[in-house]
């Protein structure tokens, strides 16, 4: 984002190769192998949509987000991993989830589209390498890789998701400075999906990652048709949940750890505080439109769909007062005022 998963550096142009199995990746300067974990992170869950008339648990949290002293996600690249299928596979991805998530990520990655995603620019924290390589609080490249050599088991666990992140790291060779989004195919569920969560983010070592099971399988519990009716709303939950998790991964990439970023007094993150409230279609400056939830803004004191970084008001120096001439002492017999 130099504004944030916000004003990011320009997205790279992806060139397809190997019959669409993955995209060409940018050449990166060689760097050190990632060191051991900076602390054990635990998954931070995005709870399902509450029943009609009920209030989202996260939305009951109050107060601002508080900086916990850890890292924010600064300057990392984002690799979208389709685990066990390729985009365009109408059997494993009948509703085009992979392409929808990739389009959203690329939109949020472009600094020219810094409207919804600019909200995260107000949350600063530790940057640098490790784990992140620049001071720009955003991703600077979005790529996609289809892992066709591994298939997620039905009911896969977080440990198995971490093993897939390790496969993606091996694919990259040097994964320093990369974050990951795992998308799994239809009819492959994850442990707790729908019953306890719709998506989550966590970290393994210095690599933060998001897990997105096939969201249309969850129906209305995870946002389908929450904003748009009929076929147009099948992927509402896909972009609502993906946007929620991206915002949280930027501001708290190592959740529930000694290196936590921004949470409120109850542990809720930037997306949790606005979960399942104020959902609407957001049209970005590039013309793309996605069903999105708001993010919490400390500066605004509430949930916002757009945020503009305040421009400092220039101060005009006050002119020095004109000196009043001092009258010389009267030495004559006659003095006049």
CB-based contacts of 303, cutoff 8 Å, min separation 6: 273, 274, 277, 278, 294, 295, 296, 297
Residue 316: asked if its preceding bond is cis (omega within 30°), the reply is: no
In whole angstroms, how far apart are CA 193 and each of 18, 65, 123, 256? 32, 27, 29, 20
* Domains with residue ranges and CATH for the chain: 66-304 (3.40.390)
CA distance 122 to 107: 20
Note the Cα 239 to chain centre separation in Å: 12
CA distance 120 to 296: 9
pLDDT of res. 309: 75
What DSSP string runs through 161-207?
HHHHHHHHHHHHS--TTEEEEEE--TT--BTTBTTTBSEEEEEETTE
Ranges of the chain with pLDDT below 50: 1-37, 131-139, 325-327, 330-337
pLDDT of res. 114: 79
**Pair 217, 189: CB distance under 8 Å:** yes
């Amino acid at each position: 984002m130099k504004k944030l998963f916000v004003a990011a550096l320009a997205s790279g142009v992806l060139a397809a190769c190997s019959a669409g199995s993955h995209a060409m990746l940018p050449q990166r300067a060689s760097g050190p192998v990632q060191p051991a974990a900076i602390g054990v992170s635990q998954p931070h869950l995005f709870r399902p949509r509450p029943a009609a008339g009920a209030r989202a648990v996260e939305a009951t949290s109050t107060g601002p987000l508080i900086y916990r002293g850890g890292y924010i996600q600064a300057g990392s690249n984002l690799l979208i991993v389709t685990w066990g299928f390729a985009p365009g596979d109408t059997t494993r991805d009948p509703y085009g989830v992979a392409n929808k998530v990739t389009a959203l990520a690329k939109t949020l990655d472009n600094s020219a589209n810094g409207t919804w995603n600019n909200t995260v620019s107000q949350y600063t924290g530790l940057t640098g390498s490790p784990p992140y390589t620049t001071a720009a609080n955003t991703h600077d490249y979005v790529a996609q890789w289809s892992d066709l050599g591994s298939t997620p088991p039905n009911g896969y666990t977080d440990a198995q998701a971490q093993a897939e992140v390790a496969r993606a790291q091996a694919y990259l060779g040097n994964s320093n400075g990369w974050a990951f989004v795992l998308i799994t195919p239809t009819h492959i569920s994850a442990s707790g999906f729908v019953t306890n969560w719709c998506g989550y983010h966590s970290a393994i070592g210095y690599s933060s990652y998001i897990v997105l099971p096939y969201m249309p399988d969850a129906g209305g519990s995870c946002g389908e048709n929450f904003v748009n009716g009929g076929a147009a709303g099948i992927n509402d939950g896909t972009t609502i949940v993906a946007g929620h998790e991206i915002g949280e991964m930027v501001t708290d990439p190592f959740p529930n750890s000694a290196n936590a970023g921004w949470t409120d007094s109850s542990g809720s993150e930037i997306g949790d505080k606005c979960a399942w409230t104020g959902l609407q279609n957001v049209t970005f400056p590039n013309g793309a439109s996605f069903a999105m939830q708001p993010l919490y803004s400390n500066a605004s004191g509430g949930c916002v769909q757009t945020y503009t970084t305040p421009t400092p008001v220039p101060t005009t120096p006050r002119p020095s007062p004109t000196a009043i001439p001092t009258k010389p002492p009267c030495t004559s017999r006659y003095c006049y005022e």
